[in-house]
């Protein structure tokens, strides 16, 4: 091939073609992982939709084996969410990078607008047909077959039937190939179990390929808060972010009012502080007139001013009490320590909260699992790609011996870490691994060290308890003889009375 | 927010907006890594273009510090490749998923059509302006400023100057922020050094921010072969691939001739074997009439027929001799073992070749590095995300003690693995980590075990050598005395003569 014609090969491609060729980037690599990815994407969407609509989620999942050797399964996922209207159904499930999530600065499980359409893609690639959908929305039910035109990344709806229906929710039914069901740490069962662990208000029913039905009941009736859009925090915002926001601004016509109203924690006195640092910028001019150099100077000045840390409003951690309750429910450890950190920020003012829960002994000792790490992001379990994940790497860096442990891998200990943020920095579109941003790693480290100290106190307390117990036993050994001797020496008192008196004394000293 | 208006928030997004928000997926996470990513993307493009055009590459890279504290650097990359014509310049460097690489089944370093446009994006996000380009192509030189319109994922060319120019090549000059130069294992210097290691025909000049100039001379004048488009191998091709190819077919109007001409290793007798297995499909009908069920049956039948493994044509490994030469040049180890595996296939007939080179001791001992793994994909160094990479994971699984090593991490050993394929299954668009496909891991394992055995032979030979040496010394200790005694006992011969005779005997037994 010569230079003459290489440019005749120049083409443009759609995002759907890209992910079709690089399906592993969406989590479709390996038969077991692919199945978990499908369950993950649908459950994620259902939970987000229910939370947005203020509905207590009730999700039904069924996996039917069609042809095990060929890896063919039918998967059904049904929720009681608000449903999707006809106008948006195709794009929501059959067009990549379309949806309500990508552009809103809001804490949700999904954040890309790719997942569900990726599942439709995988159905087409492995079974030759798309998915079958029923959506009940505001009194109407729409039922159709849905697939993707890869060339144009656009949805194709066929066999559309519209009827009246009072209920609400989405039901997806589809056949997939190149899958494998396995009740391992990487399969749908474990994914569902962990989802239930950190979403106590969720009821989820799972029928596995052997017909066995598992019901995870909700342990709380508290409807989760609706997610809130969050304003960016000035700390670390980039010049480019600032410039883009300024150019888009329609309501506020001076830089000062724009800054005060579009950012979190910027008060008028803070605007004045910033002004002092960048005297060359006219804060009365219209935001649309801001140029790069000015945006850069303001962004730089932001870093020199002292700010209140970002508002926890809009970030919705699980909450220490609920984690502890769920944890005890599911794993029943001998000792639990929970740490909920304050909101922090990473790269450009993205706020996040780290929570951790460490369980030790008890039910964990019985499972025979040692040094287990359970990772979550916005309450979604992360089962794969643990190698490069900030959570795993941080846990491994902890010097566990400082906290009275042997090696982490040798102890009956489970570490749960959940990160909540309007934007989780995933390593890839497969969303199973969190990028190693320094601020996030630091928070994880502090949270784990805090919880470890509590475990340490408990363990060393237990050790003291044992020593005390030992001393008590030694003393008790002599009580009877001593009571007898004392009674004889004093020539008064019954040995039994003295003995019981001595026991009370010992109990007082060595008892609880 | 109620269900009423959540769908008013429904939007579609461009791939450029997606990667702008998820820049870490392209390798832009952390200041050091971001700088290496930029060098990587431009060098990759230059090498691919030169190889395509049959030019011995000569690349110049310069990194200038502008404002260290702010992380501002100017980067210049210039090549002697064929250049890019005006008609394609904008899209090649300022539009994501556009280019000559994505859709061609061909072994290249780049394969996504994202990298260089990602750099333009990063320049805009961190410096407020795009890149400055000069392209010399077929007697014309075009010079311009280039940026991306994120909303539409389309290039914006400004200040275009066209002149006549006899030379060819591309020169890119751009300012970036949020970078950091470091001469570590993750910085540009190491990237360039490793690139030189596996591309012996490359001359690369690097001027670092301190003004120091490093020239990596080519050690071979052999122009690399032009990459060839490869036909897919029938083993493992999916029903969907087959169906899509059949629908696109314009030249061959019967299924049988389509199969014979569009796939690697399908002869007419092989077509007959397949026919026998799927008698219900009419092989005389037009490929465009194939339906999913038929494609599925043919794909299934493919798996039952015995095939010759894929042709190595079109896959271009480095070659054992060249690796060894480069390796000795750069690291000068005491012992080198090279294994070049035969072509194999993974997921759906994608062919690939694994090469490995293990170096032990010598220059490696002097660097004090222990148990180092150097990963390459199509001759591009992979410096990041080693945790989840198939190469790293496989090396760690090897039982090194079986090969006479202590722990891998304690030995002066460097393992080089290069994977060549028209489609490398990267874990993410950042292209630094290879997905753990079973067939690939197996090949890596076999290659490393093969090379390890050679090292083992050498090491145990060395051990025997040492033992022999020891015995020799013990014997030599007695030679003088024995010669004297013998001369006296026999009452003849000079002790010196007997001694030198004895030395010759010892030399014969214990010498080489």
Domains belonging to chain A, first-starting first, are 15-216 (3.30.565.10), 239-302 (1.10.8), 320-458 (3.30.230.10)
What does the DSSP 8-state code read for residue A216?
E
Residue the block writes with tokens 């304003």: A231
Closest by alpha carbon to A164, among A185, A186, A194, A143?
A: A143
Q: What's the pLDDT tens digit per position in A282-317?
A: 999 999 999 999 999 999 899 889 988 777 777 888
Q: What's the pLDDT tens digit per position in A358-368?
A: 999 988 888 77
Whether the pLDDT of residue B441 is over 70: the answer is: yes
pLDDT band at B110 (very low <50, low <70, confident <90, very high): low
pTM value > 0.90: no
pLDDT band at B474 (very low <50, low <70, confident <90, very high): confident
Mean pLDDT across B170-192: 94
Hey, of B9, B53, B154, B391, which one would you mutate to test binding to chain A, going by the most A CBs within 10 A of its CB?
B9
**Core vs surface per residue B162-190: b (16+ CB within 10 A) or e:** eeebeebbbbbebbbbbbebeeeebbbbb
Least confident of A111-125, A487-501, B279-293: A487-501
- As a whole number, the mean pLDDT across chain B is 87
Closest by alpha carbon to A6, among B45, B99, B98?
A: B99
Least confident of A5-9, A41-45, A83-87, B208-212: A5-9
The pLDDT of residue A11: 75
Helix (H) or strand (E) holding A157: strand A154-164
Given B85, B87, B435, which is nearest A29 (Cβ)? B435
The pLDDT of residue A273: 95
Residue B309 vs residue B40, higher pLDDT: B40
Question: Which residues contact residue B66 at a Cβ distance below 8 angstroms, ignoring those fewer than 6 apart?
Answer: B72, B73, B74, B175
Least confident of A52-61, A405-414, B386-395, B497-506: B497-506
ipTM of model: 0.77
Sign of CA dihedral A496, A497, A498, A504: positive
Mean pLDDT across B437-454: 93
Q: How far apart are CA A434 and CA A437, in angstroms?
A: 8
- C-beta separation of B487 from B495 below 8 A: yes
- C-beta separation of B449 from B401 below 8 A: no
Whether the pLDDT of residue B96 is over 90: the answer is: no
Whether the pLDDT of residue B265 is over 80: the answer is: yes
Given A10, A98, A239, which is nearest B128 (Cβ)? A239
Helix (H) or strand (E) holding B77: strand B72-78
- Interface check for A95 against chain B (CB to CB < 8 A): the answer is yes
Chain B closest-CA separation from residue A138 CA (Å):
9
**Core vs surface per residue A122-140: b (16+ CB within 10 A) or e:** bbbbbbbbbbbbbbbbeeb
The pLDDT of residue B512: 53
Q: Which two tokens stand for residue A155?
A: 């949805």
Q: What's the pLDDT tens digit per position in B230-254?
A: 788 888 688 888 998 999 899 999 9
The pLDDT of residue A56: 95
Q: What's the pLDDT tens digit per position in A415-443?
A: 999 999 988 888 877 788 898 888 999 99
Return the bridge partners of B376, or none: B381, B418
Least confident of A445-449, A467-471, B20-24, B353-357: A467-471
The pLDDT of residue B52: 87
Q: How far apart are CA B130 and CA B119, in angstroms?
A: 9
pLDDT band at B501 (very low <50, low <70, confident <90, very high): confident
Hey, of B4, B16, B17, B18, which one would you mutate to test binding to chain A, going by the most A CBs within 10 A of its CB?
B18
pLDDT band at B55 (very low <50, low <70, confident <90, very high): very high
Mean pLDDT across A376-392: 89
pLDDT band at B405 (very low <50, low <70, confident <90, very high): confident
Closest by alpha carbon to A6, among B111, B56, B83?
A: B83
Mean pLDDT across B80-104: 84
Mean pLDDT across B287-316: 87
Whether the pLDDT of residue A173 is over 70: the answer is: yes
Mean pLDDT across A473-499: 79
Q: Which two tokens stand for residue B258?
A: 């389509």
B95 vs A contacts (CB less than 8 Å): 12
- The CA distances from residue A375 to A191, A408, B66, B373, in Å, are 11, 16, 41, 28
The pLDDT of residue A1: 39
User: How many Cβ contacts (< 8 angstroms) between chains A and B?
Assistant: 191
> Is A292–B128 a contact, with Cβ atoms under 8 angstroms apart?
yes
The pLDDT of residue B25: 83
Chain A closest-CA separation from residue B216 CA (Å):
27
Whether the pLDDT of residue B193 is over 70: the answer is: yes
- Interface check for A466 against chain B (CB to CB < 8 A): the answer is no
> Is B25–A429 a contact, with Cβ atoms under 8 angstroms apart?
yes
E strands, A177-329, are: 203-207, 213-216
Least confident of A62-71, A342-351, B164-173, B369-378: A342-351
Residue B1 vs residue B493, higher pLDDT: B493
Cα three-residue angle A493-A494-A497, rounded to 5 degrees: 100
Residue B25 vs residue B163, higher pLDDT: B163
B12 vs A contacts (CB less than 8 Å): 91, 95, 97-98
pLDDT band at B103 (very low <50, low <70, confident <90, very high): low
> Is B124–A240 a contact, with Cβ atoms under 8 angstroms apart?
yes
pLDDT band at B487 (very low <50, low <70, confident <90, very high): confident
Residue B472 vs residue A102, higher pLDDT: B472
Q: How far apart are CA A22 and CA B434, in angstroms?
A: 12
Top-confidence range, A92-96, A145-149, A320-324: A145-149
Whether the pLDDT of residue B406 is over 80: the answer is: yes
The pLDDT of residue A2: 43
pLDDT band at B23 (very low <50, low <70, confident <90, very high): confident
Question: Which residues contact residue A504 at a Cβ distance below 8 angstroms, ignoring those fewer than 6 apart?
Answer: none
- Interface check for A167 against chain B (CB to CB < 8 A): the answer is no
Given A85, A129, A295, which is nearest B7 (Cβ)? A85
pLDDT band at A444 (very low <50, low <70, confident <90, very high): very high
Residue the block writes with tokens 């489970």: A414
> Is B1–A52 a contact, with Cβ atoms under 8 angstroms apart?
yes
- C-beta separation of A287 from A294 below 8 A: no
Whether the pLDDT of residue B374 is over 50: the answer is: yes
Percent of chain B surpassing pLDDT 90: 48
pLDDT band at A104 (very low <50, low <70, confident <90, very high): low
Interface of B with A in 107-126 (CB under 8 A): 112-113, 124-126
Chain B closest-CA separation from residue A97 CA (Å):
5
Q: Which two tokens stand for residue A464?
A: 């003291």
Mean pLDDT across B216-226: 83
- Interface check for A98 against chain B (CB to CB < 8 A): the answer is yes
Whether the pLDDT of residue B428 is over 90: the answer is: no
C-beta pairs of B252-259 under 8 Å, 24+ apart in sequence:
B252/B287, B253/B286, B253/B287, B254/B283, B254/B284, B254/B285, B254/B286, B254/B287, B255/B281, B255/B282, B255/B283, B255/B284, B255/B285, B255/B286, B255/B287, B255/B290, B256/B283, B256/B284, B258/B287, B259/B234, B259/B298
The pLDDT of residue B1: 39
pLDDT band at A512 (very low <50, low <70, confident <90, very high): low
Strand duo B154-164 + B98-99: pairing: unpaired
> Distance from CA of residue A309 to its chain's centroid?
22
């Amino acid at each position: 091939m010569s230079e003459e014609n290489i440019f005749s090969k120049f083409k443009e491609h759609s995002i759907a073609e890209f992910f079709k060729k690089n399906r592993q980037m969406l989590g479709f690599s390996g038969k077991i992982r692919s199945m978990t990815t499908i369950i993950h994407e649908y459950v994620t969407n259902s939970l987000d939709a229910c939370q947005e609509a203020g509905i207590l989620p009730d999700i039904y999942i069924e996996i039917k084996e069609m042809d095990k050797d060929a890896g063919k399964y039918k998967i059904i996922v049904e929720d009681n969410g608000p449903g999707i209207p006809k106008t948006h159904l195709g794009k929501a499930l059959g067009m990549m990078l379309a949806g309500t999530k990508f552009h809103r600065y809001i804490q949700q499980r999904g954040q890309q607008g790719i997942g569900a359409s990726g599942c439709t893609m995988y159905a087409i690639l492995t079974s030759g047909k798309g998915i079958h959908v029923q959506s009940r929305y505001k009194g109407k039910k729409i039922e159709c077959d849905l697939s993707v035109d890869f060339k144009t990344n656009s949805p194709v709806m066929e066999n559309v039937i519209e009827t009246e229906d009072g209920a609400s929710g989405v039901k997806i039914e589809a056949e997939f190939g190149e899958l494998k069901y396995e009740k391992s740490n990487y399969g749908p069962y474990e994914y569902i179990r962990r989802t239930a662990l950190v979403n106590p208000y969720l009821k989820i029913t799972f029928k596995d390929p052997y017909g066995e039905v598992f019901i995870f009941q909700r342990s709380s009736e508290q409807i989760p808060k609706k997610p809130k859009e969050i304003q960016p925090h000035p700390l670390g915002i980039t010049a480019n972010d600032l410039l883009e926001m300024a150019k888009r601004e329609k309501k506020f016509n001076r830089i000062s009012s724009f800054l005060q109203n579009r950012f979190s924690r910027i008060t008028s006195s803070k605007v004045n502080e910033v002004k002092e640092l960048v005297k060359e910028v006219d804060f009365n001019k219209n935001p649309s007139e801001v140029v790069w150099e000015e945006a850069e100077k303001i962004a730089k000045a932001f870093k020199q001013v002292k700010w209140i840390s970002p508002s926890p409003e809009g970030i919705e951690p699980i909450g220490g009490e609920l984690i502890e309750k769920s944890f005890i429910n599911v794993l029943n450890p001998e000792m639990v320590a929970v740490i909920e950190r304050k909101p922090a920020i990473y790269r450009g003012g993205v706020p996040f909260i780290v929570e951790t829960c460490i369980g030790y002994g008890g039910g964990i000792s019985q499972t025979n699992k040692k040094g287990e790490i359970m990772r979550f992001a916005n309450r979604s379990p992360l089962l794969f790609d643990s190698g490069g994940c900030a959570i795993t790497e941080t846990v491994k860096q902890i010097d566990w011996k400082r906290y009275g442990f042997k090696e982490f891998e040798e102890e009956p200990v489970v570490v749960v870490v959940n990160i909540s943020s309007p934007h989780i920095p995933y390593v890839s579109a497969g969303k199973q691994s969190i990028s190693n941003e320094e601020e996030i790693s630091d928070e994880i480290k502090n949270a784990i060290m805090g919880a470890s100290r509590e475990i340490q106190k408990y363990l060393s307390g237990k050790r003291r308890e044992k020593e005390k117990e030992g001393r008590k036993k030694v003393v008790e050994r002599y009580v009877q003889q001593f009571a007898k001797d004392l009674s004889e020496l004093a020539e008064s008192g019954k040995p039994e009375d003295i003995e019981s008196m001595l026991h009370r004394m010992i109990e007082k000293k060595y008892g609880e």
